[in-house]
Amino acid sequence: MKILVAVKRVVDYNVKVRVKPDGSGVDIANVKMSINPFDEIAVEAAIRLKEKGTATEVITVSIGPKNCQETLRHTLALGADRSIHVDCTDSPEPLAVAKILAKVVEQEGPALVILGKQAIDDDCNQVGQMLSALLDWPQGTFASELEISGETSTVTREVDGGLETVSLKLPAVITTDLRLNVPRYATLPNIMKAKQKPLTTIEASTFNLDLAPRLTCLKVAEPPTRKSGIKVESVADLVTHIRKVI
């Protein structure tokens, strides 16, 4: 069984993002970038399935400018077999990403597509669902547990009311949640081996898709600074201040 994992290059989660002075977006100049944490969990899930003998090949794919190859090399160091970089100068919207992934799926023919439930830069949480609709495949979103048995995948989902378990017939699309696993670290020998693993680049234009943006960003602004709190001497003072707020 072949598994395709989609990954995105984002601003590292430890970095405090800065908004551009003109409010046109986030300043990423000289900012540390890394793999989207949810996507790293997806890569780990695929590698574990391969280690169990369930999967035979793990392919990672990333859509974006040339520097996305750094992220793909990281996935190869983690244990992926090969990578595909879809070269796209602009940052495509979720629907465009889903369209491109659908074309890659048609070319590669995986039995399972795994990706993070959302990217931490836009928090859209849309690509997995859109990809499932375009492929007409069953989907298991927000997966906290994943088991593959024959032609069936069992996914435990995190929902508002607790946990929900669904059984999906392969091929299927799975999106991962935080509690699915803890990703491994890339060891130095594997980082060196990753340099020799195949990484193919495809121009997004070769798919002949309509990737035109449908959304317009009017302005990006930092959240308002939280006002400092006050100390009260007694419960009576606390009640008085609460009443003033109400």
| pLDDT tens-place string over residues 72-130 | 999 999 999 999 999 987 778 899 999 999 999 999 999 999 999 999 888 899 999 99
Give tens-digit pLDDT for 61-87: 999 989 899 999 999 999 999 999 999
- CA atoms of 236 and 119, how far apart (whole Å): 46
Q: What is the pTM of this model?
A: 0.86
What is the number of other CB atoms lying within 10 angstroms of the CB of residue 198? 10
Q: Give me the residue spans of the domains in the chain.
A: 2-245
Q: Which of 64, 151, 155 is nearest to 114 (CA)?
A: 155
Kindly state the tokens that stand for 120: 């931490």
Q: Do residues 117 and 176 touch, judged by C-beta distance below 8 A?
A: yes
What mean pLDDT do residues 200-221 have?
89
C-alpha triplet 70, 120, 112: angle, nearest 5°: 70
CATH of domain 2-245: 3.40.50.620
In angstroms, the CA 189 to CA 206 distance is: 35
